[in-house]
Amino acid sequence: MNSLHWLKKSCAVALVGVLLTYSGSSFVFADEQSDLADRLEQAQQELEESEQKLDDAQNELENQQKLGSSMRQSEQQLRNEISSLVGQISTTEAQIAAKQEEIDEQQGKIDEQQERIDDRWDDFKERVAAMQVMRSGGMLGMLANVTSLTAFLSFGDDLQQLSKKDREVLDEMNAEKAKLEQLQLELETQRNELETQRVNMQSQQQQLEINKAQLAEQIKEQDKNIDAAAADEQAAQAERDAKYRIWVQAQAEYDRLANQGGGGSVIGDGSVMWPLPGYTRLSSVFGEDRWIWGVADTNHGGVDIPAPAGTPIHVFQSGTVYNSYYSASYGNVVMVDHGGGLVSIYAHMSSRAANVGDVVIVGDVIGYVGSTGQSTGNHLHFETRQNGVRVDPLGYVSPS
């Protein structure tokens, strides 16, 4: 991190000044001063390295979370595609059933037509048989019963006319049957096409189910990667905090010796102010149990103050910025050490306006309201900790 480079320069200048001022002092003092300067330089270097590790760990966690989110989006897309296919298959099956009903109805019409043809054919055969009787020896018997030649000839003509009519009707009925059979064939073709579509969609569904199962396994592995990255980020944060405490101690010892053992100046007079003047409504209070992104968040560690994006955030009490970074949970966050074990935290900012090592006076702008990290809308998460334990910020400052 580059936020502490100015400290190196300031420490070097201070060291030169002390050496010049006390050039006549004992070698013991000079050696102690040089040793403290080396220790401070080493603490600064280690702090910078730990902050770089923290940045790397935070970036890795963010990348793993983005990958996990992308995979879950793909999983949801597969679910949607499967659901859509199931709906299409259901619709197609209903169409197949309806088409089969049409085919069955058509088959019934064909069967009825065939019965009529058969009945007509039986009548036709009887008439043909009668005509054959007239042309055979049976005709003599018929002549005995006919009273006149005219009547006999008329009877023969009638039989011939009936035979011709029967043939015409049979031809018409066969033609109608052929039409019915053609329509049935078309319906069966349509049904077969629908069945082919159903089989194809079922095959697609099976493949999507396989893909979803494979992706689910990949998501499980990715969740492990996210957990590992989160653990690395927490470890890097803990290491960075430890290095910061070492740096603070080294800086204090160096300042003590530089001031010949005198007490350092106190930052501010202890006065406080509300970090978002004019925005006093709290959307969540300290200790509250709630749900964030479908996950239980018990014992809320601070207060949430809604405000428009970009609203300036003021430090509530004077102090020194000891952390300023992007966190997967807090988003853009600034942490201020006020001394006496009191730390204030300002989270989910759209951007930060304070860097590590900055001395801030009550009311200074340290960032702007946003909704970064695990946030559901523009607000400031304001948190206070006493000796590392979260305490209610309203115990130190009231909304105004």
Which of 55-64, 92-101, 105-114 is predicted most confidently?
55-64
Residue range 247-259, pLDDT digits in tens: 777 766 765 664 4
- At residue 345, the pLDDT reads 94
What is the pTM (predicted TM-score) of this model? 0.44
Mean pLDDT over each residue of the chain, to the nearest integer? 78
Q: How far apart are CA 55 and CA 208, in angstroms?
A: 39
3-state secondary structure of 362: coil
For the segment 183-215, what is each residue's pLDDT rounded down to a tens digit?
Answer: 778 888 888 888 888 888 888 888 888 988 998
The pLDDT value recorded for residue 162 is 58
Helix-helix angle 138-145:27-135, to 10 degrees: 70
| Residue 30 pLDDT grade (very low, low, confident, very high; cuts 50, 70, 90) | low
Q: What is the pLDDT of residue 333?
A: 92
332 or 90: whose pLDDT is higher? 332
The pair of three-digit structure tokens given for residue 225, joined into one six-digit string? 């990667």
Share of residues in the chain with pLDDT > 70 (%): 74
pLDDT tens, residue by residue, 159-178? 556 566 667 776 777 787 78
Q: Tell me how far apart the alpha carbons of residues 330 and 349 are, in angstroms, rounded to a whole number.
A: 9
pLDDT of residue 18: 41
Domain-by-domain residue ranges, the chain? Answer: 1-264, 267-400
Options 2.70.70.10, 3.40.50.720, 2.40.50.140, 1.10.10.10; CATH for 267-400 is 2.70.70.10
107 pLDDT band, cuts 50/70/90, is confident
pLDDT top residue among 235 and 132: 235
Q: Residue 314: which residues within 8 A CB-CB, separation 6 or more?
A: 273, 274, 275, 276, 277, 362, 363, 364, 365, 366
